């Protein structure tokens, strides 16, 4: 048994926020209350710290199978635990892609060996061909958490509509990456002053929000559950808000990098700041923050995307897009959202626990008696310097060297300590 003492317990699902103790027996929380005692329990002193449900990230790339020189499910899980996450959902852009029951079973078998909960989506189309829909029924039975061709936007509106109709028939979720390739130049950089200074035509905001508009309306038409990944354009927030007002079953996420830094980071961090979709302008960040405040944006997700130094250490147009994010996510939220007063701590945690659980229909993301003993304990005020000492295999992050708020003390999953500072 474990007894967490004297922490500030915050649970967005129940709106509980008070100093309390939590008693854990096995994989379950058996009591939450004041001044709990248990003679034989291991005591974890949480004085001065926040105790919350383990964080949930619905958008990670663990690169297994086929790209394990960048990351694998084991190192990705260690990185997640170090960042306070107890549940993650992997994307399917592996090699081979997660398009068959055989590959999904292989991935989930590897995931089952980890000390945190690791789930996976399957692809919408076979091997990302953009045309041939996968066997949703069989993949769902094999454990798929949803369906996504993340990284390869759909140009064929009719095919998207058919995918949504199929998803609606199985009451599952489609997760979409929206960047119209017919409207983009060089991916990974916003088409604006910085791109032009670098001598390239980048990816304009319209390449994102035009696809969001199309697919939000298709979601309304088909009554499908559709989740929009990593919003970066302010207009995308307006579109999602409008679609929700019409009754579309749409949800959306933003990454910490997209609300923390602008396209200017390209000048100082080069390919470490090359992302799809790209970092945008401060005016976009302002709209993203409003979207978080009013609930238009439901979820904060990392899009944890490891790459090696050799891959990133190429000229800008050749280097892959993406950055790691699991070990900086909570700190970026505390530093750029809570500290300036944009969000309360309760609201930040809602977008990292109960909301992603609701979007992906997971029985997770809350603290309750008889509920899962998945927790994170952290000091919300302590400041740390981000170094390259990551649990991830990779260190491609533009935040290395930054001073950020928030230090994880413990991550507990199924009642066991999976990370301790």
Given this model, what pLDDT does residue 407 score?
A: 98
Question: Is 57 a catalytic site residue?
Answer: no
Contact 397, 386 (CB under 8 A): yes
Residue 130: count other Cβ atoms within 10 Å of its Cβ.
16
In this prediction, residue 308 carries a pLDDT of 98
The whole-number pLDDT of residue 271 equals: 97
Confidence at residue 24, expressed as pLDDT on a 0 to 100 scale: 98
Question: Does this model's pTM top 0.85?
Answer: yes
- Listed as ranges, residues in the chain with pLDDT below 70 are none
Query: What tens digit of pLDDT does each residue of 367-411 get?
Result: 999 999 999 999 999 999 999 999 999 999 999 999 999 999 999
Of 172, 103, 101, nearest to 142 by C-alpha is 101
Coil vs helix vs strand at 290: helix
Q: What pLDDT shows up at residue 190?
A: 98
Question: In this predicted structure, what is the pLDDT of residue 147?
Answer: 98
Could you give the domains of the chain? Answer: 2-50+371-420 (2.30.40.10), 54-360 (3.20.20.140)
Measuring CA to CA, which residue among 150, 178, 363, 338 is closest to residue 256? 338
Give the pLDDT confidence score for residue 95 in this predicted structure. Answer: 97
Output the six-digit token pair for 97. 């892609």
* Contacts of range 316-320, beta carbons closer than 8 Å, 24 or more positions apart: 316/186, 316/188, 316/189, 316/198, 316/200, 316/266, 316/270, 316/271, 316/274, 317/186, 317/200, 319/188, 319/271, 319/274, 320/274
- Region of 146 (left: φ > 0; alpha: ψ -120 to 50; beta: rest) is left
Note the pLDDT of residue 243: 98
Among the listed residues 149, 180, 303, 379, the single catalytic one is 303
What pLDDT, on a 0 to 100 scale, did the predictor assign at position 14?
98
pLDDT tens string 208-261:
999 999 999 999 999 999 999 999 999 999 999 999 999 999 999 999 999 999
- Which pLDDT belongs to residue 224? 98
Q: How many CB atoms lie within 10 A of CB 201?
A: 12
Where does residue 143 rank: exposed (0-12), middle (13-18), buried (19+ CB within 10 A)? middle
- 359 to 250, 316, 391: CA distances (angstroms): 9, 35, 28
Q: How many residues does the chain have?
A: 421
d(CA 258, CA 206): 16
Give 265-269's long-range contacts (Cβ < 8 A, gap of 24+).
265/398, 266/189, 266/194, 266/198, 266/316, 267/194, 267/197, 269/398
């Amino acid at each position: 048994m474990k007894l967490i003492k004297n922490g500030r317990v915050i649970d967005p699902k129940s709106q509980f926020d008070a100093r309390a103790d939590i008693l854990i027996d096995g994989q379950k929380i058996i009591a939450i209350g004041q001044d709990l005692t248990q003679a034989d329990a291991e005591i974890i002193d949480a004085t001065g710290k926040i105790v919350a449900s383990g964080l949930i990230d619905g958008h990670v790339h663990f690169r297994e199978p086929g790209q394990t020189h960048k990351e694998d499910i084991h190192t990705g899980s260690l990185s997640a635990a170090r960042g306070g996450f107890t549940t993650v959902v992997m994307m399917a852009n592996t090699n081979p892609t997660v398009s068959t029951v055989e590959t999904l079973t292989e991935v989930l078998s590897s995931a089952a060996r980890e000390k945190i909960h690791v789930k996976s989506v399957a692809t919408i189309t076979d091997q990302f061909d953009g045309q041939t829909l996968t066997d949703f029924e069989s993949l769902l039975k094999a454990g798929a958490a949803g369906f996504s061709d993340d990284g390869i936007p759909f140009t064929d509106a009719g095919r998207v509509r058919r995918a949504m109709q199929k998803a609606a028939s199985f009451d599952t979720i489609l997760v979409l990456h929206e960047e119209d390739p017919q409207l983009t130049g060089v991916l990974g950089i916003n088409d604006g002053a910085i791109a032009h200074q670098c001598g390239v035509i980048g990816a304009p905001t319209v390449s994102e929000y035009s696809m969001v508009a199309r697919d939000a309306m298709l979601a309304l038409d088909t009554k499908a559950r559709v989740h929009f990944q990593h919003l970066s354009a302010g207009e995308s927030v307006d579109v999602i808000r409008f679609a929700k007002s019409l009754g579309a079953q749409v949800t959306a996420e933003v990454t910490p990098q997209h609300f923390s830094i602008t396209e200017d980071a390209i000048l100082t961090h080069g390919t470490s700041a090359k992302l799809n979709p790209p970092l945008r302008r401060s005016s976009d960040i302002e709209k993203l923050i409003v979207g978080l405040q009013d609930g238009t944006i439901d979820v904060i997700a990392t899009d944890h995307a490891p790459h090696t130094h050799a891959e990133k250490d190429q000229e800008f147009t050749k280097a892959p897009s993406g950055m790691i994010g699991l070990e900086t996510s909570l700190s970026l939220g505390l530093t750029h959202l809570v500290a300036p007063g944009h969000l309360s701590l309760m609201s930040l945690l809602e977008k990292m626990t109960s909301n992603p659980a609701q979007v992906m229909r997971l029985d997770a993301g809350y603290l309750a008696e008889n509920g899962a003993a998945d927790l994170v304990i952290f000091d919300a005020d302590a400041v740390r310097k981000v170094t390259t000492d990551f649990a991830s295999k990779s260190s491609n992050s533009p935040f290395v060297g930054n001073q950020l708020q928030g230090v994880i003390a413990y991550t507990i999953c199924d009642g066991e300590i999976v990370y301790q500072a």
